[in-house]
Amino acid sequence: MNEIKIFAPATVANISCGFDVLGCCLDSIGDEMIVRKSADKGVKITKIVGEILPFETEKNVAGVAATALLEKLKTKLDFGFEIEIYKNIKPGSGIGSSAASAAGVVFAMNKLLGEPFSKLELVEFSREGERLACGSPIADNVAPALFGGFTLVKSTNPLKVIELPTLPDLYAIIIHPQIEIKTSDSRAVLPNTVSLEDATKQWANLGSLVHALHMKNYELFSESLVDFIVEPHRSKLIPDFDKVKQKSIQAGALGCGISGSGPSIFTFCKGMQIADNVTNVISEVYNKTQIPYHMYSSKINTQGVKILVI
């Protein structure tokens, strides 16, 4: 096997009560990547389509993740890798654009190498891409991108990822308003400290949400999708967030929150009919704002990165 084409999925992190730990993997939004063995050693990015991103390996998240993998290989390779990136996920959208690139490339290389690494090790390599993209080796997007479904990052040092069950009839609707929120702004609004009372409510809800996933209990899942800590602050940076939330829940959504650090907003819905209704009401809200936007509707991807052509 000398070449592989893969689908690198978008992901939703910071899911309501699961700030910094809970994410899920999407099915119909993602990048494509071709990775092939090359005579030249090392990693070379040969093509980037869809976005203007650096070709220099050390400045590109895929390049950095790929290099992290190569450095951990015990045997010295007499070949290298070429990477083509077909970008569909907009950088800065809040649905794991950098995570997709990082997770996708290490998944592909691992396949071409005969799978010497576990998924958890691939998460470790991908985190190095995240470190480049956002200054910190966060794992809550790369974990669901690689494992699929819902994942809980129990700890980052040592890295421990828990694969949670998913709800079979769950759809995620994402609206990505075409605005830029500076990382510095989305961090600046985060409180350093939170009240013990709010923190307690938050962990009660996260515990409850994990239980709901195990029990396939949509109602409890819905009741648990509450964020007392981060959303009240960050939602102010997203135009009409409150209206999107209110209208989508009126239209039957199970919950609504900020995807990653925004500006994308996610909602979860049970079944395609409600998902369609929610898509419509969110569009109506945003059509009035004059802000351009993209919308996506996706089932939960329980597989993570997928092989397209091998």
Minimum CB separation from a copy of itself for residue 294, in Å? 30
Q: For tokens 């009409």, name the residue.
A: 240
Cβ atoms 113, 122 nearer than 8 A: no
Residues between 19 and 48 with contacts to a copy of itself, criterion CB under 8 A? 19-22
Among 39, 76, 184, 196, binds a copy of itself (CB under 8 A): 196
Candidates 66-74, 95-103, 218-226, 263-271; binding stretch for a copy of itself (CB under 8 A): 218-226
Q: Does 159 bind a copy of itself (CB under 8 A)?
A: no
Q: Judging by DSSP bridges, how do beta strands 306-309 and 255-258 pair with one another?
A: unpaired
Q: Does 12 bind a copy of itself (CB under 8 A)?
A: no
Q: Cα(7)–Cα(305) distance, rounded to whole angstroms?
A: 6
Continuous segment of H or E residues that includes residue 155 = strand 150-156
What Rg value do the Cα atoms of the chain yield, rounded?
19
Minimum CB separation from a copy of itself for residue 180, in Å? 24
Minimum CB separation from a copy of itself for residue 23, in Å? 12
Minimum CB separation from a copy of itself for residue 107, in Å? 24
Q: Does 195 bind a copy of itself (CB under 8 A)?
A: yes
Q: Which residues are catalytic?
A: 130, 183
Q: Coil, helix or strand for 293? A: strand
Cβ atoms 305, 8 nearer than 8 A: yes
- 306 phi, psi to nearest 5 deg: -120, 145
Structure tokens at 36: 């092939």
Q: Judging by DSSP bridges, how do beta strands 22-38 and 150-156 pair with one another?
A: antiparallel
Q: Does 267 bind a copy of itself (CB under 8 A)?
A: no
Q: Does 18 bind a copy of itself (CB under 8 A)?
A: yes
- C-beta closer to a copy of itself: residue 113 or 220: 220
Candidates 103-111, 112-120, 221-229, 255-263; binding stretch for a copy of itself (CB under 8 A): 221-229
Q: Cα(77)–Cα(88) distance, rounded to whole angstroms?
A: 31
Q: Does 203 bind a copy of itself (CB under 8 A)?
A: yes
Q: Cα(85)–Cα(100) distance, rounded to whole angstroms?
A: 10
Where does this chain bind a copy of itself (CB under 8 A)?
17-22, 152-155, 160, 162, 164, 190-196, 199-211, 214, 220, 223-224, 229
